[in-house]
């Protein structure tokens, strides 16, 4: 898959995002070939874009989708530690008490606009956390799939999943999702409360567009007032506990060995990522 060149928006250049604005709705399409891994660069561009959009009073709704038919966000880029300068920048910009992955989720959750994810491919790990952080998420019944597969890499989620999922469903289901590390279909994800709704693939584009445009056309003040009345839940102590647990495992030799072997056996290639749970279980 070949990425399209740089995109200019509000005087900034983007290489992993495409932005289109119409009828007070901004559509942000993720594009980080080959599998939309959540790299440091993509995280930086998402936070930069969300900041610029937060200052645009004309935009009422932000819809996130993907240029990749198979993947929304495969997971955090296994090679992300190679982006040292960007990671330092992200760490310096992160809110107090948050790691860089949690910070991205919280920037999204505190966006003044309504945020909607249209999931037509796979979202795993950090990608699944991004889906959970959005105000609303809708998945293709046939193609939308979601997973927190970090346990297979010898770690736990570190970008907010333990807290976001616990606010959406009972503890037993959170344990099943994280420790079971299975790829959930859209119908089950809806039943668990992980997403708003599973919609037929032939209908999801029209459904999300209609919802976004309806929200964007509401009388001035209605949407912002409701977001103020229904603020996102705060997870301050939970984020710290999650980060402590994640860091303890993430920097252990075992996790590093698994991730290295995963890369050698097809991780972050299209074929490998389509069956990453199977690949990781074999390595473990």
Confidence at residue 1, expressed as pLDDT on a 0 to 100 scale: 43
Taking residue 238's Cβ as centre, other Cβ atoms within 10 Å add up to 17
Tens of pLDDT, residues 147-158? 999 999 999 999
DSSP at 144 = -
Q: Which residues of the chain have pLDDT under 50?
A: 1-3
* Whole-prediction pTM: 0.96
Please give the domain boundaries of the chain with CATH numbers for all domains: 7-283 (3.90.226.10)
The phi, psi pair for 145, rounded to 5°, reads: -140, 150
Q: For residue 51, give Cα distances in angstroms to 48, 98, 107, 108.
A: 5, 17, 8, 10
- Helices (H), ranges, the chain: 40-54, 84-93, 100-109, 126-133, 161-168, 171-180, 186-192, 201-216, 222-229, 236-250, 253-264, 270-274, 276-283
Tens of pLDDT, residues 238-274? 999 999 999 999 999 899 999 999 999 999 999 999 9
């Amino acid at each position: 898959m070949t990425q399209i060149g740089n995109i200019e928006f509000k005087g900034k250049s983007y290489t992993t995002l495409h932005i289109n604005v119409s009828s007070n709705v901004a559509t942000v399409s993720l594009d980080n070939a080959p599998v939309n891994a959540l790299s440091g660069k993509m995280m930086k561009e998402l936070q930069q874009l969300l900041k610029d959009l937060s200052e645009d009073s004309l935009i009422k709704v932000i819809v996130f989708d993907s240029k990749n038919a198979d993947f929304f966000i495969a997971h955090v880029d296994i090679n992300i530690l190679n982006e040292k300068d960007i990671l330092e920048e992200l760490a310096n910009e992160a809110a107090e008490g948050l790691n860089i992955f949690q910070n991205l989720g919280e920037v999204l959750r505190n966006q003044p606009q309504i945020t909607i994810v249209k999931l037509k491919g796979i979202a795993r790990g950090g990608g699944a956390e991004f889906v959970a952080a959005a105000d609303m998420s809708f998945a293709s019944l046939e193609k939308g799939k979601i997973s927190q597969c970090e346990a297979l890499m010898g770690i736990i989620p570190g970008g907010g999943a333990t807290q976001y999922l616990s606010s959406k469903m009972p503890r037993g289901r959170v344990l099943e999702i994280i420790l079971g590390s299975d790829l959930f279909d859209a119908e089950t994800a809806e039943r668990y409360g992980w997403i708003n709704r599973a919609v037929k693939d032939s209908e999801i584009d029209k459904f999300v567009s209609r919802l976004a445009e309806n929200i964007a056309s509401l009388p001035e003040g209605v949407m912002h007032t409701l977001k103020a009345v229904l603020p996102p839940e705060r997870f301050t102590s939970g984020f710290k506990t999650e980060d402590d647990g994640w860091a303890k495992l993430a920097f252990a030799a075992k996790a590093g060995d698994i991730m290295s072997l995963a890369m050698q056996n097809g991780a972050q290639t299209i074929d490998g990522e389509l069956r990453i749970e199977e690949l990781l279980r074999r390595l473990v």
